[in-house]
Amino acid sequence: MDLDAFSWLLTDEGQQLLARATEMTAASIEGKGSALAVQAALRKDETAEHVTAAMNQVDLRRKAAAKFGDLAPKMYFTPDGLEQATRLAVAHHRAARLRAFDAASVIDLGCGIGGDLIASSRAGLTAAGVDHDPERVAIAQANLDALGLPGAVTVADATTVDHSPFEVAYADPARRGAKGRVFSAEGWTPPWSWVETLFARDACVKVAPGIPHDLVPEKVEAEWVSDRGEVKEAALWSGSLASTQRRATVIGERGLATLTSEDDPGGEVGPVAEFLYEPDGAVIRAGLVTAVAAGVQGHLVDEHIAYVTSSASFETPFARGYQVLEELPYREKQLKAALRERGIGRLTIKKRGVQVVPEQLRKRLALSGSGEATIVLTRVAGEGTCLLVRPF
């Protein structure tokens, strides 16, 4: 990003150009026009650098709607900053947790474009952020200003900043480098060895959902969070902010629900009953599938598979439920015949614990009936099994 061009974009003239670019792009999309035509029209009155800066923000704001909702049209982004930014619903949950623990101030050690700063400030926390990248700092400050929120941002190395004046330290280590995603925690920026030093105090660290359980230090709470069915992140809570060992938090249209290791009595394995439950990804990552089984008065279908079965029908935020209609043949040839016999043409294939690629299987089945169905391919007591189910 051209920092000078972005700074100009914040001026009155820049804001006028951004408004024109937004309006013309919207009209172009409705009329099936092109972004190149919009740029060409804008460059008749403005420099190429300024037009590029404006058009980039228009495009990024459109992409950001999935994460930031109705705030996106007022905010500013960079491509990598938007990619790493926390989804607003998740950031709001984190800020609400801090408020619930009576925290009053937080420092964001690597604030990026300021998504978590925004959530913290909106929750009433005194929020400050640092980042080593001047462009991200400029954008984070611009976002706070655009939304009328208090907060301070400065260029600094997160690993050398004195964060002791703040009640909580928050960090979101970058897990991408010049060559793409970095899988080794010591290769994060800042590295894991520095992250671990934060756990000596009240801190929260955002990490990848795939973090191994054995990497989580003792007395640090690991929370996996999903938003509308998608696992978005894990967060590690230390000090007085840690209240359990493992937690799964599910954010949905009806609100938020949470499940902890204290809710998990362990579980047994048994035969498939009338109802099948597919736990949310956050529950699976947190290792709390048996807690879901306890909640629906059921059991696992296999000790290594994250499916729960029960003779009772429950509505739970932690799993999607299906009624088991019948067991179908697992072998492909016999399965094809059974589905054709039932007039199935449109088939949803869910699978877990078996080597099946649903798209390829669907193509090989070559179904042509008028009916629609859902099947679950999995293992039950170690054996490949196909279940015809109906979502409820």
Cα R_g (the chain), whole angstroms: 25
Cα(237)–Cα(202) distance, rounded to whole angstroms? 7
CA distance 256 to 100: 14
Quick one: DSSP state of residue 217?
Answer: P
The answer to whether residue 42 sits within a structural domain is: yes
pTM: 0.91
User: Which residues have a Cβ under 8 Å from the Cβ of 50 and sit 6 or more positions away?
Assistant: 5, 8, 9, 14, 17
Separation between Cα atoms, residue 152 and residue 28, nearest integer Å: 38
Residue 30 pLDDT > 80, yes or no? no
Tally the C-alpha atoms within 13 A of residue 127's C-alpha that lie toward its C-beta.
27
Asked if residue 237 and residue 95 are part of one domain, the reply reads: yes
Render 63-129 in DSSP notation, one character per residue.
HHHHHHGGGGGG----HHHHHHSPPHHHHHHHHHHHHHTT--EEEEET-TTSHHHHHHHHTT-EEEE
Tokens of 235: 């967060």
Q: Are residues 338 and 382 in the same domain?
A: yes
Least confident of 118-127, 147-156, 173-182, 233-242: 173-182
Distance of alpha carbon 71 from alpha carbon 62, whole angstroms: 11
Whether residue 54 is found in the same domain as residue 186 = no
321 and 352 housed in the same domain:
yes
pLDDT at 357 over 80: yes
Model pLDDT, residue 31: 67
Q: Which domain holds residue 129?
A: 82-243
Residue 294 domain flag: yes
Count of structural domains within the chain: 3
| pLDDT-derived band at 182, boundaries 50, 70, 90 | low
Domain boundary pick from 221, 243, 265:
243
Provide mean pLDDT across the span 61-74: 97
Q: Are residues 110 and 235 in the same domain?
A: yes
Summarised one tens digit per residue, pLDDT across range 94-148 is 999 999 999 999 999 999 999 999 999 999 999 999 999 999 999 999 999 999 9
The CA distance from 14 to 22, in Å, is 12
**For residue 264, is it within any domain?**
no
- Say if residue 150 is preceded by a cis peptide, omega within 30 of 0: no
In a domain? residue 345 = yes
Which residue shows structure tokens 């029960």? Answer: 310
230 occurs within a structural domain = yes
Please give the Cα distance from 307 to 233 (Å, whole number).
Answer: 22
Confidence of residue 181 (pLDDT cuts 50, 70, 90): low
* Inside any domain, residue 52: yes
Average pLDDT in the chain: 95
pLDDT at 204 over 90: yes
Where residue 174 falls among pLDDT bands split at 50, 70, 90? confident
Q: Can you read off the two tokens belonging to residue 37?
A: 């035509």
pLDDT at 16 over 60: yes
Residues 138 and 180 in one domain: yes
Pick from 24-33, 228-237, 295-304: least confident: 24-33
In a domain, 260, yes or no: no
Q: Supply the DSSP symbol for 357.
A: -
- Residue 178 has a pLDDT of 55
Q: What is the mean pLDDT of residues 51-77?
A: 97
Comparing CA positions, the residue from 170, 176, 166 lying closest to residue 206 is: 170
Final residue before a domain boundary, out of 226, 243, 260 = 243
Cα–Cα nearest to 40, from 55, 30, 27, 29: 55
Mean pLDDT for the stretch of residues 324-353: 97
Q: Please report, rounded to a whole number, the percentage of residues in the chain having pLDDT higher than 70.
A: 97
Give dist(CA 92, CA 104) in Å, integer: 15
Tokens coding 250? 């599910």
| CA distance readout (Å), 74 to 61, 142, 146 | 8, 10, 6
Q: Do 297 and 212 lie in a common domain?
A: no
Among 243, 266, 293, give the residue marking a domain's end.
243
Do 94 and 23 lie in one domain? The reply is no
The Cα 186–Cα 218 span in angstroms is 19
Whether residue 181 is contained in a domain is answered as: yes
Taking a C-beta distance cutoff of 8 angstroms, is the pair 27, 39 a contact? no
Same domain, 152 and 299: no
| Same domain (yes/no): 279, 224 | no
Q: Residue 345 — left, alpha, or beta (φ > 0 → left; ψ -120 to 50 → alpha)?
A: alpha
* The residue to which tokens 């925290």 are assigned: 103
In the structure encoding, which two tokens stand for residue 266, read together? Answer: 């362990």
**Domain containing 139 — which CATH number?**
3.40.50.150
Kindly state whether residues 296 and 383 are assigned to the same domain: yes
Same domain, 23 and 141: no
Burial status of residue 114 (CB atoms within 10 A of its CB: 0-12, 13-18, 19 or more): buried
DSSP element (H, E) containing 377: strand 371-380
